[in-house]
Structure 1
Amino acid sequence: MLFLSGGRSTAQHSNLPICTAPNEQLFPDIVSDGDRGAIIAWMDARNGNRDIFIQRIDAKGKILWKKDGIAICQLPGSQGWPILIPISDNNGTIIVWRDSRNGNPDLYAQRIDINGTELWEKNGIPICQNLASQDDPKAIADGEDGVIVVWEDWRNNRQDLFAQRVNGKGEAIWSKDGVAVYDGTGDQYDPSLTTDQTGGAIFAWWDISTPEWRVFSQRISADGRKLWPERGLTVCEANGNQGGPLVISDGSNGAFVVWSDYRNDPAIFTTSDLYAQRINANGQRLWNPDGIVICDQMENQQQPFITHVNHGIGGIVITWWDDRDVFSDIYAQWINGDGEPMWALNGLPICIAEGEQRQPKLIRDKSDGTIIYWLDYRGDYGNKATSAIYAQRIDKNGRSLWALNGMPICLADGGQMTPDAIMTDNIALIAWSDGRNGDSYDIDIYAELILLSSNITE
């Protein structure tokens, strides 16, 4: 366990092995267990084909279930890319995954309790079994011990978006194989969703059926009805292309949407800016019609990630990687509920160390601050192309509380990939795929528990 206060590390640490079974373990997802610990799921190739495994750890990092995890699904075909959804009564989790047991990829789910016992049908219940392919699922809790899932779907010989709601008993509430979020002309990409706080969801995606690629949004009620225009609400109509949206609840039955924007791009998809919009429960845009600027520096800004803030006037914190200094660095911005930037114009530098920093993500720290973590190549000058994991904690005023340019979470040889983190009380838990054993075909799952030994003060 790593002990961190407002400043520096107070103890040496070694990472916690979650799974060191043979072959690859990839794409860990982590969720709170409701008791200061965590449940971690991953895609596992120990049996040759890919399966879903899961493990639970307590607040001290003790492994609570079977060594190297318990199997959720080991059927023929491939099962992968698990998503964990917390249960409101803190009694376990719902797991959603992509599954090719029937040939083309379908979507399945399982519910387990705090002891790792499966509560639904063995090997999972189907979310969608349409004969066409279903891919890129995203999922959220429905607020009533169930789950809402959205995915890209090829049943109409184009890439549409469908969604399904499943209750806590494993029963589909909406139409069999899902309701259409959008099934018009052209292809739709990268669905994102958030709760509407009434049992339904607000969705965002980007659409290439128009001359210029656009970001759209839709709200679907708890009983599966579209509440906004049939083709969705246009989030931005500025010149140029927009894509890669993320959506998160605004706490008032509406949502914030953040996207990559090419309105100032001198070429085609070479220089992206970041913009945001707030939409109310009725589908009305509340900020500038084409969004407010998060960052419009001359160079490229990509891979935004967002979370809520509770700083009295609300809003969101956004982090991204940024090419303004040639090599990509990590920046962040707090946008309040009125669409006003609260930190430095065009973002606050989180890490501007040498080398590349990529794939930033963030979590709230329970003290009105934020922990940002990322893949870091500062020690790699192109010989091995391996990454470490670093993190930084900032308060609501944008002050960095840990070491300049971040605190190392893992520096093991072989590289680390796809970190995911949660906050439970005063402990941040981070899990990732890890190549420290030196075999590129034998990747393991490791984790770190970071005890925040003091809260943020004004």
Structure 2
Amino acid sequence: WRATDLRLDSNTTSSFDSRKPQIAADGNSVYVVWHDARNGGSDIFLNRSLDAGTTWLPNDIRVNKGVAGITFAVDPQVAAVGTHALVVWQDRRNGSLDVFCNRTTTSGSSWSATDVRLDTTPTATTSIAPRIVLDGNLVGVVWQDHRNGTDAVYANWSLDLGATWLSSDRRLDTSAPGTTNATDPRIDIDGSSLYVAWTDDRNGAGDVYCNYSLDSGQSWAASDVRLDTDTPGSSASIAPRIVATADTAWVTWQDDRSGFSEIHANIPFGMLPYGDGTPGSGGFVPRMQGNGQATLTGIVSLDVVDALGGAPSAILIGFQPRSKISLSFLGGTLLVNPIASPQFPLFGTLDVPGAGNISIPIWLPTDPVFRGFNVNFQVVTVDAGSVFGWSMTNAVEMWIGD
């Protein structure tokens, strides 16, 4: 560490507090944001380094727009990738607290002339505690919102690194509006998947809930999922934190079910299709779907339809997220890097396009060491009617739970 720390705010009077710093970095670029009241009311300020913290701007930059010192802009959060950085905060310029965002595409040298309001309700309400994450061009922001009379979790997102946003935000907790309080939301993104967790009092004491989208926010689960598994509402589960990677998410929180505060966690399980199949005879594209509960000691099935009847086939089996690939091969796309590939014939009338089918049972292990284990599957079929002599299903990823 440096022998002497650095002061990053350039409030020369030193008569006002600079509070709640947040930091983000990508490569050698480091961005630090905070709020301070040097101009009267609170504003959002930023300093940045482009050489991994060796040097910084001599003067910090005010990020919120409009007249300085009158908007009560506080509690900033920052995310960064490449030359882009985005800052969100809560702001009282319209009378009640709203969520605003500004961004730079030039490593902090310049910022958008106008910041953007992300909560879209036309009526006065309280939108607070925003959180922001990004992955590639996908940016997600969540916050706590009181428009329905109680606190709820709302989100807005951008597909182009903050250049444009949804014209209407979206509520993510799925209890009846205005009946419960959903607070302290947290968000993370992996690829096109967004995961949001929060604390919710619908059952009494706080429980931890989650909602998710696997398609860059186009659709979300119709019902949110409770993650703490003791009696609903019987103890306080609070302060959730979430991280998403390798097509899944991990959530941890503070839990007092034992009478003392403990740290608990949960992970998702189940089966999801991914990728596209490769057409075979008659233009049929074989399809595979997972069915059953992917839990320890359980039995699930992989069900294949629309393949060539009676054709020789093999199932590609890969372990853990590193086995998920996308490799052009024999006119199609290999979606699994296999560690095993058992062979079998399909059912259905021999050589009839689209008639091939099979249901493959999978017995899951009993050892708890496999909790959270990932297995990926794809079926390939010998098919003389396809361009290169093979057809392929989509793939299915399975995460084992308990």
Asked if Structure 1 and Structure 2 have the same fold, meaning a TM-score greater than 0.5 normalized by the shorter chain, the answer is: yes
Of residues 18, 37, 54 in structure 2, which corresponds to 1:45? Answer: 37
Shift of 1:108: 0.9
The amino acid across from 1:93 in the alignment is A
Aligned equivalents of 1:110, 1:28: Cα separation in 2: 17
Query: Which residue of 2 is the match for residue 277 of structure 1?
Result: 266
Query: Which residue of 2 is the match for residue 9 of structure 1?
Result: none
Query: Which residue of 1 is the match for residue 241 of structure 2?
Result: 246
Aligned equivalents of 1:170, 1:59: Cα separation in 2: 24
The amino acid across from 1:17 in the alignment is R
Query: Which residue of 1 is the match for residue 157 of structure 2?
Result: 165
TM-score by length of 2: 0.60
Cα deviations by residue, 1:115-142 (Å, 9 ceiling, x for unpaired): 424453x24111114321101111110x
TM-score by length of 1: 0.54
3-state DSSP of counterpart to 1:274: strand
- Give the conservation status (yes or no) of the 8 Å contact 1:52–1:74: no
Change in 2 beyond 3 A, CA 1:59/1:336: farther
Shift of 1:263: 1.7
Query: Which residue of 1 is the match for residue 61 of structure 2?
Result: 70
Cα-Cα RMSD:
3.1
3-state DSSP of counterpart to 2:148: coil
Structure 1: state its 5+ residue gaps: 3-12, 266-270, 289-311, 315-334, 341-458
Query: Which residue of 2 is the match for residue 214 of structure 1?
Result: 207
1:136 aligns with 2:129: yes
Query: Which residue of 2 is the match for residue 191 of structure 1?
Result: 185
Aligned equivalents of 2:99, 2:202: Cα separation in 1: 26
3-state DSSP of counterpart to 1:51: strand
- Give the conservation status (yes or no) of the 8 Å contact 1:139–1:147: yes
Aligned equivalents of 2:240, 2:52: Cα separation in 1: 37
Of residues 22, 25, 28 in structure 2, which corresponds to 1:32? Answer: 25
Aligned equivalents of 1:313, 1:221: Cα separation in 2: 16
Aligned equivalents of 2:37, 2:294: Cα separation in 1: 45
The amino acid across from 1:107 in the alignment is V
Change in 2 beyond 3 A, CA 1:60/1:128: closer
Shift of 1:170: 3.5
Query: Which residue of 2 is the match for residue 255 of structure 1?
Result: 249
1:127 aligns with 2:112: no
- Give the conservation status (yes or no) of the 8 Å contact 2:35–2:42: yes
Query: Which residue of 2 is the match for residue 148 of structure 1?
Result: 140
The amino acid across from 1:86 in the alignment is A
Shift of 1:164: 0.6
Shift of 1:228: 2.9
- Give the conservation status (yes or no) of the 8 Å contact 1:77–1:99: yes
Change in 2 beyond 3 A, CA 1:218/1:61: closer
Shift of 1:221: 4.0
Query: Which residue of 2 is the match for residue 84 of structure 1?
Result: 78
Shift of 1:57: 2.2
Q: Which runs of 4+ in 1 moved over 6 A?
A: 283-288
Cα deviations by residue, 1:129-168 (Å, 9 ceiling, x for unpaired): 4321101111110x23341011111111111111110233
Shift of 1:95: 0.9
Change in 2 beyond 3 A, CA 1:61/1:218: closer
Cα deviations by residue, 1:388-423 (Å, 9 ceiling, x for unpaired): xxxxxxxxxxxxxxxxxxxxxxxxxxxxxxxxxxxx
Aligned equivalents of 2:263, 2:89: Cα separation in 1: 30
Of residues 18, 27, 43 in structure 1, which corresponds to 2:8? Answer: 18
Change in 2 beyond 3 A, CA 1:117/1:162: same
Aligned equivalents of 2:294, 2:180: Cα separation in 1: 25
Mapping for residues 226-241 of structure 1, pairs under 5 Å: 226-230=219-223, 232-239=224-231, 240-241=234-235
Query: Which residue of 2 is the match for residue 204 of structure 1?
Result: 197
The amino acid across from 2:149 in the alignment is N
3-state DSSP of counterpart to 1:73: coil
- Give the conservation status (yes or no) of the 8 Å contact 2:34–2:45: yes
Q: Percent identity?
A: 21
Shift of 1:55: 1.0
1:108 aligns with 2:97: no
Shift of 1:49: 0.7
Shift of 1:214: 1.8
Task: State the structure with more CA Rg.
Answer: 2
Aligned equivalents of 1:337, 1:47: Cα separation in 2: 56
Q: When the two structures are aligned, how many residues end up with a matched partner?
A: 273
3-state DSSP of counterpart to 2:118: strand
Shift of 1:222: 3.6
